[in-house]
C-alpha cells in the first residue's frame, strides 16, 4: 500500500464507521457484493458512501436516522464506499445499470429489483430532514 492509500484509509475511517457503527454492513469486495446480491430474496437498503463533504456529510446521518426512525425497514442495511472499495462499488453499480453512477447515493432493492434510488443531485443542497423523508417514502413502498 502506498502512502496515499494509507493516508486515505485513515481519512475515511470515521466516514465508514458512521454507518457501520449504526448497523450497516459494509461490503468491500466485488465478491462480497456478488454473494450478497445472489442470496438477496428480501429487501436491502444500500448507501454508496463517499468522501464528498457537501453531499456525503448529509447522506450518512440522514440514512442512519431514516433506518432508526422508520416503522417499515428493509431487512438489510448495507454500504459500499465509492472511490475506496472500487471493485465492490463497480459490482453494485452493475445492479444499478438503469441509473448513472452517483456518489454518494442510495438504493433500495426488493430482491434484485431497484424500487428506489436517490442520486447525489437529490442529496446535495437538501436538508437532512428532506433526505430522510425521501428514504422513508421509499421504505414505505417496499
Residues 51-103: pLDDT tens digits? 987 799 999 999 999 999 999 999 999 999 999 999 999 999 999 999 999 99
Full DSSP string of 4-55: HHHHHHHHHHHHHHHHHTTTPEE--SHHHHHHHHHH--SEEEEEEE-S-HHH
Task: State which H helix or E strand residue 135 sits in.
Answer: helix 128-140
Predicted TM-score (pTM) of this structure? 0.94
Rounded-to-integer distance, Cα 115 and Cα 128, Å: 21
Rounded to whole angstroms, the Cα distance separating 16 from 74 reads 20
105 DSSP β-pair partners: 48
Edge to edge, the sheet with strand 76-81 lists 25-26, 76-81, 43-49, 105-110, 113-118
Q: Of these residues, 6, 20, 35, 54, which one is catalytic? A: 54
Asked about 52 being catalytic, the answer comes back as yes
| pLDDT above 80 for 46 | yes
C-alpha cell read off for 94: 452493475
Residues 6+ apart with CB under 8 A from 76: 25, 36, 40, 42, 43, 44, 45
SS3 state at 128? helix
Q: Give the 3-state DSSP-derived string for 46-74, with helices as H, strands as E and coil as C.
A: EEEECCCHHHHHHHHHHHHHHHHHCCCCC
At 33-44, the pLDDT tens digits run 999 999 999 999
Among residues 15, 19, 52, 123, which one is catalytic?
A: 52
Amino acid at each position: 500500500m502506498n502512502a496515499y492509500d494509507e493516508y486515505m484509509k485513515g481519512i475515511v475511517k470515521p466516514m465508514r464507521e458512521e454507518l457501520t457503527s449504526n448497523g450497516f454492513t459494509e461490503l468491500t469486495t466485488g465478491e462480497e457484493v456478488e454473494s450478497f446480491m445472489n442470496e438477496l430474496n428480501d429487501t436491502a437498503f444500500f448507501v454508496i458512501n463517499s468522501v464528498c463533504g457537501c453531499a456525503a456529510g448529509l447522506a450518512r446521518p440522514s440514512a442512519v436516522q431514516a433506518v432508526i426512525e422508520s416503522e417499515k425497514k428493509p431487512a438489510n442495511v448495507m454500504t459500499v464506499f465509492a472511490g475506496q472499495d472500487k471493485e465492490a462499488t463497480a459490482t453494485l453499480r452493475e445492479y444499478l445499470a438503469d441509473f448513472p453512477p452517483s456518489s454518494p447515493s442510495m438504493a433500495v432493492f426488493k430482491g434484485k429489483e431497484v424500487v428506489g434510488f436517490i442520486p447525489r443531485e437529490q442529496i446535495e443542497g437538501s436538508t437532512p430532514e428532506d433526505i430522510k423523508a425521501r428514504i422513508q417514502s421509499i421504505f414505505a413502498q417496499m
